[in-house]
Amino acid sequence: MRPSRRAPDELRPVSIERNVARYAEGSCLIKFGETHVLCTASLEEKPPAWLRGTGKGWVTAEYAMLPRATHERTRRESTSGKPSGRTQEIQRLVGRSLRAVVDLVRLGEKQITIDCDVLQADGGTRTASITGGFIALQECVRWMMERKMLTVSPIKDHVAAISCGISKGVAVLDLDYVEDSEAMTDANFVMTGAGGLVEIQGTAEGAPFSEAQFLEMLALARKGIGELVDLQKKAVA
């Protein structure tokens, strides 16, 4: 039995609320159980300097946690002088994942920044950030199309993400904080709506894991991401 009494292949309750930030071109509040992430999309009329004149745009992401999103208060990164290695790793992952479904030429010389701010953290903040970040991005594109800034959407497919782990020898889907702390193996998967793999990150926390275990986690992820993509579609319907 999982600590949350969920079945091994069961997601936490997921909700996606659009249009929560008055000033952003796109936004949503996504909840994976007790993990809550506010995602906003901000449009800039110019791409980063290294893309000027290429006809291509850019999608990037930033990630942070409020200091008391967690059980113990964590120090603000503005106070410690720089984003931690973990923060940088996550925001690079979110940016890469979103760019995998965007046609940057079709976007044109613009930049969209997706900010993922974790209001409350109970495990899985990076996968919620990718899944919710996609909605904020999509809303931003809709906003641009309504204003005739784009005639064809540069978004090629959905993208979503979920974590899996080996907990007490069993492969399980969508770990919360308690499960994540105990799991021997922790893996994050990012896939498109069509089922293509965008990113795989698997880490043995204790003993190494086997290929069979890895394939079990991959199958769970495929199921979970399918459900998340359905929820994304409902959210914007």
Q: Could you list the residues that contact a second copy (CB under 8 A)? A: 21-24, 27, 34, 38, 40, 42, 44, 62, 64, 66-71, 73, 76-83, 85, 87-89, 91-92, 96, 100, 113, 115, 117, 119-120, 122, 187, 191-192, 194, 196-204, 207-211, 214, 218
Query: Three-class SS of residue 1?
Result: coil
- Which two tokens mark 163? 């974590």
CA 193, 224, 196, 142 torsion-angle sign: positive
- Nearest distance from residue 184's CB to a second copy, in Å? 11
Determine whether the annotation assigns residue 79 to a binding site: no
Determine whether the annotation assigns residue 142 to a binding site: no
Per-residue CA distances from 121 to 88, 117, 133, 231 (Å): 17, 10, 16, 21
- Nearest distance from residue 53's CB to a second copy, in Å? 19
Q: Which is nearer to a second copy, 93 or 235 (CB)?
A: 93
- Nearest distance from residue 148's CB to a second copy, in Å? 22
Query: Three-class SS of residue 152?
Result: coil
Q: Give the distance, in angstroms, between the CA of residue 10 and the centroid of all CA atoms in the same chain.
A: 18
- Nearest distance from residue 115's CB to a second copy, in Å? 5
Determine whether the annotation assigns residue 86 to a binding site: yes
- Nearest distance from residue 84's CB to a second copy, in Å? 8
Cα–Cα distance for residue pair 3/37, rounded to 1 Å: 23
Q: Which is nearer to a second copy, 7 or 181 (CB)?
A: 181
Q: Which is nearer to a second copy, 53 or 208 (CB)?
A: 208
Nearest to 29 by CA among 132, 142, 112, 124: 132
Q: Which is nearer to a second copy, 151 or 193 (CB)?
A: 193
Nearest to 225 by CA among 122, 130, 93: 130
Q: Which residue has the tokens 């030429």?
A: 105
Annotated binding site for phosphate: 86, 124-126
